[in-house]
Amino acid sequence: MLMQAEREQLVEYGKKLSRAGLCPGTSGNLSICDPGSGLMAITPSGMDYFATMPEDIVVTDLDAHVVEGNRKPSSEWALHTAFYRRKSEARAVIHTHSVYCTTLGIAGEPIRAVHFVIGAANAREIPLAPYVTFGTEELAETAVRACGDGNAVLLANHGIVVCGGSLEDAFSLAVNLEYVAELQYRAMCIGSPSVLGREQVDAAIRRFGSYGQPKDA
């Protein structure tokens, strides 16, 4: 089975996303890209995360031609391939419909630097891409263009997309940005949020460059 380890990891993290409340029902999707082979393993369209097995994960090339698998790949396959094509360092992409990120997108608000953990996205704020119909190549291009040099973008009236050097990194970023979005929402409910300045966020971004354990530890 092609990309067996990656398929198993996607099954595991799909359940983690569901348990964390980031992907209600069958919403959201996640993938891993192997740059050596040019192949992508992606979750199937419309399947319960707790019913998904490794053999249900679909392996495609970056043009969405199915290489192995009997399931229909996620309707957002173009969103994933757009990030892999535009961001050479990306090895995993996660798209969620998490409550607070989606709420800010509905309100027309980017995620602002109300907490230093936003620096994990390599961005001073998480931009908001305009609404485009889900599952289209137009959405994919709109999202990756709005994302810029950072690792995350909000989709208006839809959700959020994050990428990372590993599925673990992308999952951690999705969790952290939902936390920041919740803080921003709560602060907006009681007043005007205090937003960190450019120098403060840049310092946080630099600190995140050496945060955590060495990759070979």
**pLDDT tens-digit series, residues 138-153:** 999 999 999 999 999 9
Q: Where are the domains of the chain?
A: 4-208
**pLDDT tens-digit series, residues 45-87:** 999 999 999 999 999 999 989 999 999 999 999 999 999 999 9
- pLDDT exceeds 70 at position 216: no
> For position 130, what pLDDT does the model report?
98
Sequence-distant (6+) residues with CB within 8 A of 110 are 104, 125, 126, 127, 128, 154
Q: How far is CA 150 from CA 26, 46, 158, in A?
A: 27, 28, 19
Q: For the chain, what percent of residues have pLDDT higher than 90? A: 95
**pLDDT tens-digit series, residues 57-66:** 999 999 989 9
Tokens of 191: 């007043």
Q: What is the mean pLDDT of residues 119-125?
A: 97
CB neighbourhood size of 177 (10 A): 27
Superfamily of domain 4-208: Class II aldolase/adducin N-terminal domain (3.40.225.10)
- pLDDT exceeds 80 at position 27: yes
Tokens of 67: 């290489």
Buried b or exposed e, range 19-42, using 16+ CB within 10 angstroms: eeebbeebbbbbbbbeeeeebbbb
Predicted structure pTM score: 0.95
- pLDDT exceeds 70 at position 173: yes
Catalytic site positions = 76
Q: How many CA atoms lie within 13 A of 101 on its CB side?
A: 31
- Secondary structure (3-state) at 111: strand
